[in-house]
Structure 1
Amino acid sequence: MDMNQYLSMFIDESNDHLQSLNESMMGLEANPEDLSIVQVIFRSAHTLKGMAATMGFEDLASLTHQMENVLDLVRNNKLRMQDFIFDTLFKSLDALESMVQDITGGGEGKADVSAIVASLQAIVRGEIPSAAGAAPAAAEAPAAQTPVYLDEFQYSVLEQSIQEGHQVMYLDVALRKDCQLKAVRAYMVFDLLERSGEIVKSFPSVQDIEQEKFDTGFSLYYITQKEAAEIQAMVLNVSEIEKVTAVALDAETLHQMAVAPAAATAEAPAQPKAEEKPAAAAPAAAQAPAKDESAKATPARTGAPSRTIRVDIERLDVLMNLFSELLIDRVRLEQLASEVQNTDLTETVEHMGRVSGDLQNIVMKLRMVPVDNVFNRFPRMIRDLAKSLDKKIDLVITGAETELDRTVIDEIGDPLVHLLRNAVDHGVEPVQDRLAAGKSETGTIQLRAFHSGNHVFIEIEDDGAGIDPKKILKSAIKKGILTQEQAAGYSDEKARQLLFAPGFSTAEVISDISGRGVGLDVVKSKINSLGGNVTIYSTLGKGTNFSVQLPLTLSIIAAMLVRMGSEKYAIPLSSIVETSIIKHSQIKTIHGNKMVEFRGSHIPLVSLSKIFAIADYDESTEEETEIVVVRKGDRMIALAVQDFIGQSEIVIKNLGKYLPEIQGISGATILGDGQVALIIDPNAFFK
């Protein structure tokens, strides 16, 4: 086994330990007197330290050792947990995660953690600041010398903006030292900037700036279409502004600025050189106890051998591709056997069909991963957001064992992050507002997952103020998205869908968390690209529910095969409501659009033969037309086809990068007779 394999093991196990540490710390914060949880945290930290030292990552091992010193005092009843200790340990975990991410990217896992180490050492010495005296030194330093740390979501927003051709800038704004109303001047700057772009992150935070908890300057990341010089001149026109520095960032510069730890100072001390890594170090072998710990502080299990193995996802992809080819050949054999009419051949093919069906179930299950792999990082995130907004929030997770295809799991994390941020910032009200409305001071956010048919639903529901459709329409009119006349015809449900419009936001004040018009449109497009959709349900005064519908898998699906002329197409069964045959006399033309009656209402009739320019079929020449009624959310349309071939499980093949994107087509499949059938994307016809 070479060193790269040991490194891969180290990265995987380090991420497991860091997740376990975060979950255990959350449990300890809820039960500070439970020393059994401290024991679990201590052992996990000790294991991580040993692994890091064995692999030669000295900075990581050193920081973990400092954490051990604090935890050792706590588990021996020499130190009581309190807010400052929790905050410092959480900052330590963030720094450790940053180091492991650096190692994953090929780095050496180095970071300036001198400020965190100093805090940990002060805790060991008993020098714990009181709540009144715990104001961070960073807030007293000039903004130009304080790096603005970005979290994963903020960084991805800025990176995507650069890729889409927007200007991303880092601004330092210094007020005159004799400025009397600092918060007012800062608000004027923010208001001016919001008219020409989006503020993604500021330092100090917006809340601190509003309360004048800053010296004479502040910094921020900003997205716009204007040039840096123009933005600089605009801000300088505000009264009592001493100096403005606007620097346009490219992707590389953004990365260099964003990866700095939150507590890093402007001048990082030189780092000691890591010792040469031993060639025969096996981190897992020496540190086996970590596998027996759980985030709920249950006693370590002994004597039960591990029944799981780690498998590279690329190997599963290869296995899935090979099975896909086998499935295509199976369908071909079944067709040949039915043509030959040989009893022995037919029986053999039928047996092969049963075996390959069982094999298909196993292969599919190998790719299925519990959504807990995504959900497990959210409790810590909600804890930090609630604390920064001075809110009290309980996150209740149900259905974490629900399984999804690994491909979907990898893509769904960022959309869920934004929906949860939105629930924390906009959904749950501040404590005083909740009390005034007769609610408990602690808000609740429900994160649940469950199966329904061939789909998985993930719902994020808060018990907050709900979404006011009138407020949405008013904002849409103000932004020029709708006219007064158009808004008058909008139902409450249709108004709520405006939240997914690009750049739309109802936020009255800027925020570091959400409400800048960046995100919900990206959330919707990402979920749609996975073959899913998102729906909003809301009751004013009671709360909001974002319901995300996702397909179980993106590799093999059940489909209805249809024929039009000499061409065959596949329509996913998950989108089909029913099939039917209609006479031409039943087709009506309303406002120039063809409509058919379906269950007491009229729905649009879409001619696939015209959209795909099928030369040898035209449904208008037929007396009867077969239709497939498909659904997207609450909307339905009818697709006109010539013949139904039947249902079949098909293997989705990507069209590749060489073909342009084809409207209404999501991929292709190979049928039993070797013919290629295009897979129809019904969602495209609802636009």
Structure 2
Amino acid sequence: MDMNQYLDVFVEESKEHLQAINDHMLRLENEPNEKSIVNEIFRSAHTLKGMSATMGYEDLANLTHKMENVLDAVRQDQISVTPNIIDVLFDSIDHLEAMVESIIEGGDGKRDVSHTVQTLDLIENGESVSDQVRADSGDNGIQLDEFQKSVIQESMEQGFHPYSVTIALDPNCILKAARVYMVFEVIEQVGEVIHSTPSVNELEEEKFDLDFTVTLLSKLQSDELIARIKKVSEVNKVVARPLNIETINEGKVEAAATVEEQSNISTNTETKDNEKGTSSKQTVNNKTIRVNIQRLDQLMNLFEELVIDRGRLETIASELKHPGLVDTVEHMTRLSSDLQDTLLTMRMVPIDQVFNRFPRMIRSLAKDLGKKVNLIVLGGETELDRTVIDEIGDPLVHLLRNSVDHGIELPEKREANQKVCEGKITLAAYHSGNHVYIEIEDDGGGIDREKILQKAVDNKIVDASTAADMDDHDVYQLLFASGFSTAEIVSDISGRGVGLDVVKSKIESLGGKITVTSILGQGSKFSIQLPLTMSILSVMLVTAGEETYALPLSNIVESVILTKEEIMKAHQQQVIDFRGKVVPLVSLQNVLHIPGERLADEYVSVVVVKKGDKMAALKVDSFIGQQEIVLKPLGDYLSNVFAISGATILGNGQVALILDCNDLIR
């Protein structure tokens, strides 16, 4: 039975169960005696175990089964939840997530989890976790039977050297069994194979990843033995380690290699497995594939050109009024709109892919710093372009670390300030207009304005006279100056004193902005504004003077036509009454210094736009209508032009500028 048809469902449901386990584990740490939480974790682990076993991912199923045993023991009151048990369960979750990620990337989900499994067994049996750590700190053993041990002892007396040889095949190797056969042929020419891991039968059936270990006897030195084996094509790496003679009689043969050498082999092999799945699992890619983002960009660029030509065709069809041409253009418009939705959906992903890793990070940081922190995550379903998703993670990590380290106070200090001992950090994302906002707010000690100014003056970032006249917004922006830090002790928690300049640079490189608000003693808020980076926009085309402009529909509240009597003045500013609110009226022709004669008409065309809770009314000469256009950037040289976010090519071949309503309102 081909299980690949269920791969998409397995991956999605596995992610959901792992996220549920993560969330409930964080709750269990705070409420270790709450059996209902343990039951929820047990149910998710049990479901994940069954799914993994059905799909043939044995490592994943086995580890989940061990977790299930520990959780069941907790449910039966055989063991109690302790911080050590919580840490081991979190380690298990990390392994499970890595296995699922391997499956997503086309691998087979295999991973060395023997240490974690042994620790879970100890916990289940009521033994101390620290005993397992000490037991595992030695060399990794190779189990041999009595006959094999006697063969090694007799051969050593005849001048043979016992080795444990690990061979790693090239990730692109297709016929692995044939390659193993060739390796064994070379070994048998210079020695004798005693034992192999996996077994010979498993190797012949290709039931292994890219590496295998052979215990052998040879009169060659290790360097010469390695050189012989490496002559076999598609052998990527060979590591030969002499076996310790003293431990052969103790029932366990140990390689005289350092722990670091063994770790390197495991890490290298695991990296190769992640880069490309084994040949026996290549069909996993039938349903899920990884596409280079540059190919998606190229596809989007081609579609943008198609949209421009579609606009020109619509203009030509409306001028010629040929029925057949009009029908064909309308049909092409519908098809291209569906294609556009598909392309944009391919690029848009929920931001919770980034947010989901933060609760664990905050838990670890708070534990290291001796603080109590509750992280609240809101708006994880908000979608962003995947290029932004890939880049926004590091700035958010830095800001969250900053909030835990500098923002949230120690429990005793919070209690002294009449606060609850547990600090709160809120991470929220939401759409507003054509932008996505991400906010990180804490209820910590806030930002000391005077301390920032003093530090800035001491570092000669500003002079004393300028500092005295700065408002709060300008003061908080000093936090983003290069090398600025108020940390008294440099640590690796929040950037080692590097400051927030790197965060600001990264966000600005994505076309975004970052602002800070704070109340001393009550907390701080960092607000990040990011563009959706949707290169195809729905806009309203308007004219002002001799120019045509595009206003994004996402910013428009309403378009209205007013009489001149409905325009009023307040504080030397023209305003209008819009649904009971006084809204300032801004003339595009005046603000943008557009040439052309001001029309003295009895009626005035107005577009009401918004940014958050703020609104403004833009006075234009006429409305052209709604249209989908392609956003073209103006380039680095014109990147800071006031109120202009880009340009587009219209159906008649003319260039129209796209207005940034945020600048106009501000």
Q: Structure 1 length normalisation: TM-score? A: 0.57
Name the residue aligned to 1:652.
Answer: 631
SS in 2 for 1:279: helix
Deviation track 1:379-434 (CA, whole Å, cap 9, x = no partner) reads 22222222222211222233333344444434333332222222222222110111
Q: 2:648 touches 2:658 (CA, 8 Å); kept in 1? A: yes
Amino acid at match of 1:74: V
In 1, Cα distance between equivalents of 2:404 and 2:388: 24
Name the residue aligned to 2:39.
Answer: 36
In 1, Cα distance between equivalents of 2:264 and 2:443: 49
1:423-572 → structure 2 map (5 Å cutoff): 423-514=403-494, 516-518=496-498, 520-559=500-539
In 2, Cα distance between equivalents of 1:397 and 1:575: 27
In 2, Cα distance between equivalents of 1:630 and 1:517: 42
In 1, Cα distance between equivalents of 2:589 and 2:611: 14
Which structure is larger by alpha-carbon Rg, 1 or 2? 2
In 2, Cα distance between equivalents of 1:82 and 1:395: 22
In 2, Cα distance between equivalents of 1:416 and 1:379: 12
Name the residue aligned to 2:91.
Answer: 91
Q: 2:17 touches 2:44 (CA, 8 Å); kept in 1? A: no
Displacement of 1:683 after TM fit? Answer: 9.5
Structure with higher RCO (Cα < 8 A, 6+ apart): 1
Q: 1:505 touches 1:516 (CA, 8 Å); kept in 2? A: no
Name the residue aligned to 1:299.
Answer: none
Name the residue aligned to 2:123.
Answer: 123
SS in 2 for 1:480: coil
SS in 2 for 1:439: coil
1:120-199 → structure 2 map (5 Å cutoff): 120-128=120-128
Q: 1:398 touches 1:447 (CA, 8 Å); kept in 2? A: yes
Q: 1:21 touches 1:44 (CA, 8 Å); kept in 2? A: no
Displacement of 1:438 after TM fit? Answer: 0.5
Cα pair distance change 1:99/1:279, threshold 3 Å? closer
Displacement of 1:25 after TM fit? Answer: 2.4
1:35-74 → structure 2 map (5 Å cutoff): 35-44=38-47, 46-47=49-50, 50=53, 54=57, 64=64, 66-74=66-74
Name the residue aligned to 1:296.
Answer: none
In 1, Cα distance between equivalents of 2:307 and 2:352: 31
Name the residue aligned to 1:145.
Answer: none
Cα pair distance change 1:518/1:360, threshold 3 Å? same
Displacement of 1:2 after TM fit? Answer: 11
Cα pair distance change 1:685/1:102, threshold 3 Å? farther
Displacement of 1:118 after TM fit? Answer: 4.9
Displacement of 1:119 after TM fit? Answer: 3.4
Cα pair distance change 1:317/1:483, threshold 3 Å? closer
In 1, Cα distance between equivalents of 2:532 and 2:53: 39
**Residue 672 in 1 paired to residue 646 in 2?**
no
Name the residue aligned to 2:316.
Answer: 336
Give the gaps of 5 or more residues in structure 1. Answer: 139-263, 286-308, 580-595, 610-617
**Length, aligned pairs only:** 508
In 2, Cα distance between equivalents of 1:311 and 1:270: 29
Q: 2:48 touches 2:64 (CA, 8 Å); kept in 1? A: yes
Deviation track 1:194-250 (CA, whole Å, cap 9, x = no partner) reads xxxxxxxxxxxxxxxxxxxxxxxxxxxxxxxxxxxxxxxxxxxxxxxxxxxxxxxxx
In 2, Cα distance between equivalents of 1:660 and 1:383: 41
RMSD: 5.8
Displacement of 1:12 after TM fit? Answer: 7.0
Amino acid at match of 1:38: I
Name the residue aligned to 1:23.
Answer: 23
Q: 2:372 touches 2:411 (CA, 8 Å); kept in 1? A: yes
Name the residue aligned to 2:160.
Answer: none
2:395 aligns with one of 410, 415, 430 = 415
In 1, Cα distance between equivalents of 2:111 and 2:342: 43
Name the residue aligned to 1:240.
Answer: none
Amino acid at match of 1:120: L
Q: Structure 2 length normalisation: TM-score? A: 0.59
Give the gaps of 5 or more residues in structure 2. Answer: 137-257, 560-571, 576-582, 600-606
Amino acid at match of 1:649: E
Amino acid at match of 1:21: I
Displacement of 1:481 after TM fit? Answer: 1.1
Deviation track 1:26-57 (CA, whole Å, cap 9, x = no partner) reads 344345422421322432552576489648xx
Report the more deviating stretch, 94-103 or 81-90: 94-103
In 1, Cα distance between equivalents of 2:344 and 2:97: 31
In 1, Cα distance between equivalents of 2:134 and 2:551: 59
Q: 1:577 touches 1:631 (CA, 8 Å); kept in 2? A: yes
In 2, Cα distance between equivalents of 1:525 and 1:473: 22
In 2, Cα distance between equivalents of 1:88 and 1:21: 14
Q: 1:54 touches 1:283 (CA, 8 Å); kept in 2? A: no
In 1, Cα distance between equivalents of 2:649 and 2:595: 29
